[in-house]
Chains A and B, each alone.
Chain A
Amino acid sequence: MNQPFLDVKKISKIFHPGREVKVQALVDISLTFDRGEFVVISGPSGSGKTTLLNIMGGLDSPTAGDVFLDGERITGVEEKFLSRLRRDHIGFVFQAYNLIPVLTARENIEYVMQLQGRSRSECDRRTREVAEKLAIAELLDKLPGEMSGGQQQRVAVARAVASRPKLILADEPTANLDSKSAEGLMDMMQSLNQDERITIIFSSHDPLVIGKAKHSILLKDGQVTADEFPG
């Protein structure tokens, strides 16, 4: 039997917002994902979508359970390892775009590639390539503050894609966008998934967006209530 690309095993997460207050965000979750999948994790607010994505991306650690990426355990490991893992293998798209405000769109897109030590010409070529694909070529010299929300989110996607990660995790990428921009962004992400064979997992509670996924997971109160392959 083939080993899954991403294997989430019995993940639980408990937060302690106060000294004697405990919040169980995830309860014993187990999921598997294959390479090249286009996955949506949906559910109401507070269902644990963001927490699950953060743990799968090595941004947060689970209270119990393990996550394996390409057969390699990424939970309970050193921060330096996680830092390299995020740099080389995972792209992130955040709800609030989270571009680096002092860098232009071009510098934001090139940033991770520069961390990877790619050459100047390679960074330049790849930036132009993804900028064209995401229709942001004319925005490359603008600072984030000079762009609309939809434009910033496209730059954020370009940043996530440019470094050729194995996996892109997008946390409610369309939440701050109007429906037209949201649909456009999802179409672009879908085409990246098909063209570049990147596994994309995103969270959303927008039915329009959810409908585009090939693999759909529904969370409620930190538990998986449905794991389906609608398309």
Chain B
Amino acid sequence: MFRTICRIAWASLVRRSSRSVLVVVMISMSLWGLLFMEGIYDGMTEQMISNAIRSDSGQLSLFAAGFREDPGLNRLILQDGQITDCLAGDRRVKSFVRRLRQDGLAATAHYSRNVMIYGLDLATEQRHGRLDTYLTQGEYSFGAKKRGAIIGARLAEKLKVKIGRKLIVSAQNSEHEVSAVALTITGIVRTNNMALDESAVFIDMGKARELFMTPEGVTQVSVILQAEKDIPGVQNTLRRDFPTLEILSWDELYPALMQSRVLMKGFNLVMSLLIFGVAGLGIFGVMLVSVLERLREFGIMLAIGTSFDQVRGIIFTESFILGFSGFVGGSLLGGATLLYFYRHGLDLTIFGEGLEEFGMDVITYAVIRAQYFTTAFAAVMLATFVSVLFPLRLLKKANPIEAINKA
């Protein structure tokens, strides 16, 4: 009997091809829009988080106690040798970098700005967070004599400086005296991490130690792990081994980003509901009309001995074929679109200024998650099946002759 039901459902779909194609296209387009939006919005959020992790916090950051509330060279991590040994021996750790940071002033002949001076090692940063990929001008180097500086793009705009220009960087050293050094701007980076783009001056670690008169110790150790799920485990290990240090995860350092992620999930959910609400109404309308216009046909089937369960089976089979075809079409379309934007990115330059204000990249790379497709499948099937419940109820109430005569 199942074969007969399938054959009749299939014959009905094939011999009413225009209607079938219309429903499939409608479901496919709704799904395509939904998948595209989910992938792009998640891509935006994940890029913001990734930028913060790569350029600054890592997935975990280690600070001396009290440094974050009151940054100063009197709050250094002095056991960085032990930390290095510990992190290097942990398989869950992918990479880590050590940084020496002090607030200071950067000045040109005409302008000056408060800045954050970072002493770091460019080669390690390149492996750790691919800092070099943020370079927009100049070269990823401090020069042969290590007298170069790489600065944030917004800072460069505010100081009105270009590559090759001189910059006087001054800061309080560990002796509480003011030290200064003249540097040449060798590179400009745009990380889309607002704090760094507006005020970061990256200099060579050795030069920073001279400037701050700190022969040992660092202010931050940034750690990137092999897998995000390992964050709590590694955090606990480090807290146990270095109880005097503050060990914070990226979301503790950037709570706003975590909120963005949660907010975006909620936004995606609402958008999904809206899109499927509208698409669901469309599907409902088409399925309703398609069953109502065939009330006579179903009446005939009932009259000549088809049971109501079999008629229901035919209608559900048709709905399933339509819904599943729409899901496959929408998934292929949406998946291909997401794959394209995952590889090439979506260029949103026309909204560039606005996006940068929020710390978002102008080129957004889509995210593709299996979960998009599983939830979409559930939503399509739900919308399709719910849409035939009302006409089935109508059919159930009428006897075969009423169904034939009504039509």
Q: Indicate with 1 or 0, residue by residue over B145-177, a CB within 8 angstroms of chain A CB atoms.
A: 000000000000000000000000000000000
Cα–Cα, bound, A83→B404 (Å): 16
Q: Which of A83, A99, A117 contacts B302 (CB 8 A)?
A: A83
Q: Indicate with 1 or 0, residue by residue over B293-306, a CB within 8 angstroms of chain A CB atoms.
A: 00011001111111
Question: Does A92 contact B16, Cβ atoms closer than 8 Å?
Answer: no
| B contact residues around A115 at 8 Å (CB) | 1, 4, 305-306, 310
Cα–Cα, bound, A84→B307 (Å): 8
Q: In the assembled complex, how far is the CB of residue A194 from the closest CB belonging to chain B, in whole angstroms?
A: 24
Cα–Cα, bound, A101→B298 (Å): 11
Q: Which of B8, B15, B306 contacts A87 (CB 8 A)?
A: B306
Question: B400 interface residue, CB < 8 Å from A?
Answer: yes
Question: A178 interface residue, CB < 8 Å from B?
Answer: no
CB contact under 8 A between A98 and B305, given known A103-B8, A143-B15: no
Question: B332 interface residue, CB < 8 Å from A?
Answer: no
Q: Indicate with 1 or 0, residue by residue over A60-95, a CB within 8 angstroms of chain B CB atoms.
A: 110000000000000000011001101110111010
Cα–Cα, bound, A107→B4 (Å): 10
Cα–Cα, bound, A86→B4 (Å): 18
Cα–Cα, bound, A88→B304 (Å): 9
Cα–Cα, bound, A92→B300 (Å): 10
| B contact residues around A101 at 8 Å (CB) | 297
Question: Does B301 contact A59, Cβ atoms closer than 8 Å?
Answer: no
Cα–Cα, bound, A147→B302 (Å): 23
Q: Indicate with 1 or 0, residue by residue over A88-114, a CB within 8 angstroms of chain B CB atoms.
A: 101110100011111100010001101
Residue of A nearest to B298 (CB): A100
Q: In the assembled complex, how far is the CB of residue A145 from the closest CB belonging to chain B, in whole angstroms?
A: 10
| A contact residues around B302 at 8 Å (CB) | 83
Cα–Cα, bound, A94→B310 (Å): 22
| B contact residues around A102 at 8 Å (CB) | 8, 11-12, 15-16, 297
Question: B308 interface residue, CB < 8 Å from A?
Answer: yes
Q: Indicate with 1 or 0, residue by residue over A141-179, a CB within 8 angstroms of chain B CB atoms.
A: 001000000000000000100000000000000000000
Q: In the assembled complex, how far is the CB of residue A110 from the closest CB belonging to chain B, in whole angstroms?
A: 9
Question: B382 interface residue, CB < 8 Å from A?
Answer: no
Question: A223 interface residue, CB < 8 Å from B?
Answer: no
Question: B349 interface residue, CB < 8 Å from A?
Answer: no
Question: Does B11 contact A111, Cβ atoms closer than 8 Å?
Answer: no
Question: Does B306 contact A83, Cβ atoms closer than 8 Å?
Answer: yes
Residue of B nearest to A114 (CB): B4
| B contact residues around A61 at 8 Å (CB) | 399
Question: B401 interface residue, CB < 8 Å from A?
Answer: yes
Which parts of B269-327 form the interface with A (CB within 8 Å)? 296-297, 300-308, 310
Question: A54 interface residue, CB < 8 Å from B?
Answer: yes
For the complex, count residues of A whose C-beta is within 8 A of B: 29
CB contact under 8 A between A98 and B303, given known A60-B399, A115-B4: yes
Question: Does A111 contact B304, Cβ atoms closer than 8 Å?
Answer: yes
Cα–Cα, bound, A148→B80 (Å): 94
Cα–Cα, bound, A53→B56 (Å): 86
| B contact residues around A100 at 8 Å (CB) | 8, 297, 300-301
Cα–Cα, bound, A126→B305 (Å): 18
Question: Does A83 contact B308, Cβ atoms closer than 8 Å?
Answer: yes
Cα–Cα, bound, A142→B7 (Å): 17
CB contact under 8 A between A80 and B8, given known A60-B401, A143-B15: no
| A contact residues around B11 at 8 Å (CB) | 102-103, 107
| A contact residues around B310 at 8 Å (CB) | 115
Cα–Cα, bound, A159→B301 (Å): 12
Cα–Cα, bound, A112→B304 (Å): 7
Q: In the assembled complex, how far is the CB of residue B124 from the closest CB belonging to chain A, in whole angstroms?
A: 70
Residue of A nearest to B9 (CB): A102
| B contact residues around A159 at 8 Å (CB) | 304
Q: Which of A54, A103, A112, A143 contacts B305 (CB 8 A)?
A: A112
Residue of B nearest to A110 (CB): B4
Question: Does A92 contact B297, Cβ atoms closer than 8 Å?
Answer: no
Residue of B nearest to A60 (CB): B401
| B contact residues around A107 at 8 Å (CB) | 7, 11
Cα–Cα, bound, A79→B398 (Å): 11
Q: In the assembled complex, how far is the CB of residue A211 from the closest CB belonging to chain B, in whole angstroms?
A: 29
Residue of A nearest to B311 (CB): A83
Residue of B nearest to A107 (CB): B11
| A contact residues around B300 at 8 Å (CB) | 94, 98-100
Cα–Cα, bound, A48→B4 (Å): 36
Residue of B nearest to A160 (CB): B304
Cα–Cα, bound, A222→B72 (Å): 106
Question: Does A86 contact B301, Cβ atoms closer than 8 Å?
Answer: no
Which parts of A35-69 form the interface with B (CB within 8 Å)? 54, 59-61
Q: In the assembled complex, how far is the CB of residue B339 from the closest CB belonging to chain A, in whole angstroms?
A: 38
| B contact residues around A88 at 8 Å (CB) | 305
| B contact residues around A117 at 8 Å (CB) | 1
Cα–Cα, bound, A59→B139 (Å): 87
B-to-A contact residues, CB < 8 Å: 1, 4, 7-8, 11-12, 15-16, 296-297, 300-308, 310, 399-401, 404
A-B contact pairs, 23 of them (CB 8 A): A54-B401, A61-B399, A83-B306, A83-B308, A84-B305, A87-B304, A87-B305, A87-B306, A90-B305, A92-B304, A94-B404, A98-B300, A99-B300, A100-B8, A102-B8, A107-B11, A111-B304, A112-B305, A114-B4, A115-B306, A115-B310, A143-B15, A159-B304
Question: Given A98-B404, A115-B310, list of 15 further CB < 8 A pairs?
Answer: A59-B399, A60-B399, A61-B399, A80-B307, A83-B305, A83-B306, A84-B305, A84-B307, A88-B305, A91-B304, A94-B300, A100-B297, A100-B301, A102-B11, A117-B1
Ranked nearest first, the 6 interchain pairs of A and B with the lowest CB-CB distance are: A87-B305, A86-B305, A83-B307, A102-B15, A114-B4, A98-B300
